[in-house]
């Protein structure tokens, strides 16, 4: 096996710390030949979010709050079993974890500023609505 394809960047200069990643391998479910019974290709990647120092405090608090439903004792886990090779499953799991953390640590969106609809736009909308109604009314064969 070669070296894993580099640090998995969460955002900016922050990436997943290799030392804090806990890997577990087991047999994937699903069909397969004799080989499937012996190869541990399913990967479970666990990361202790509550105890890590790799993330800035603000990000950590944000992630803990947003991922509360997924955490088990402060640990977030990701599973990958779609590839036949353990190696590719490891890659997939790490990328998935990085993406999950990137989303969970993202700053909240700016609040939307409510603005008044310009009068001209409103008038134009009502005028077009009226025209459309007249067109439809003109289609009925009744002549009142």
Asked whether residue 144 is domain-assigned, the answer is no
81-91 confidence digits (pLDDT tens):
888 888 888 88
Structural domain includes residue 123: no
| Structural domain includes residue 83 | yes
Q: What is the CATH number of the domain that holds 47?
A: 3.30.160.20
Write the pLDDT tens digit of every residue in 11-31: 777 777 777 888 888 877 767
Number of neighbouring beta carbons within 10 Å of residue 93: 23
Alpha-carbon separation of residue 74 from 55, 56, 99, 139 (angstroms): 14, 16, 18, 66
Note whether 43 and 80 are within 8 A (CB): yes
Domain that holds residue 32: 8-105
How many whole angstroms separate alpha carbon 36 and alpha carbon 39? 5
- Residue 37 corresponds to which tokens in the numbers above? 């019974």
Share of the chain above pLDDT 70, in %: 88
> Residue written as tokens 């001209």?
120
Overall number of domains in the chain = 1
**Residue carrying structure tokens 């025209």:** 131
Question: Residue 11: CB partners within 8 Å, gap ≥ 6?
Answer: 102, 105, 106
Q: Is residue 139 part of a domain?
A: no
> Is-contact 78 64, C-beta < 8 A?
no
Residue 96 in domain = yes
Q: What count of other Cβ atoms lies within 10 Å of the Cβ of residue 42?
A: 20
Q: What is the pTM of this model?
A: 0.65
Q: In whole angstroms, give the CA distance from residue 81 to residue 93.
A: 9
Any domain includes 3: no
Determine, yes or no, domain membership for 66. yes
Q: Is residue 86 part of a domain?
A: yes
């Amino acid at each position: 096996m070669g070296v894993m394809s580099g640090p998995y960047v969460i955002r900016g200069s922050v990436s997943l710390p290799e030392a804090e990643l806990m890997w577990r391998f087991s047999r994937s479910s699903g069909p397969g030949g004799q080989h499937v019974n012996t190869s541990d290709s399913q990967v479970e990647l666990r990361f202790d979010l509550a105890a890590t120092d790799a993330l800035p405090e603000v990000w950590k608090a944000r992630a803990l709050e947003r991922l509360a439903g997924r955490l088990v004792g402060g640990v977030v886990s990701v599973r990958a079993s779609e590839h036949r090779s353990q190696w590719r499953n490891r890659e997939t799991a790490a990328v998935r974890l990085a993406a999950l953390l990137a989303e969970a640590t993202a700053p909240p969106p700016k609040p939307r500023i409510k603005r008044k609809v310009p009068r001209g736009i409103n008038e134009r909308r009502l005028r077009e609505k009226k025209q459309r109604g007249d067109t439809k009314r003109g289609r009925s064969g009744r002549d009142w």
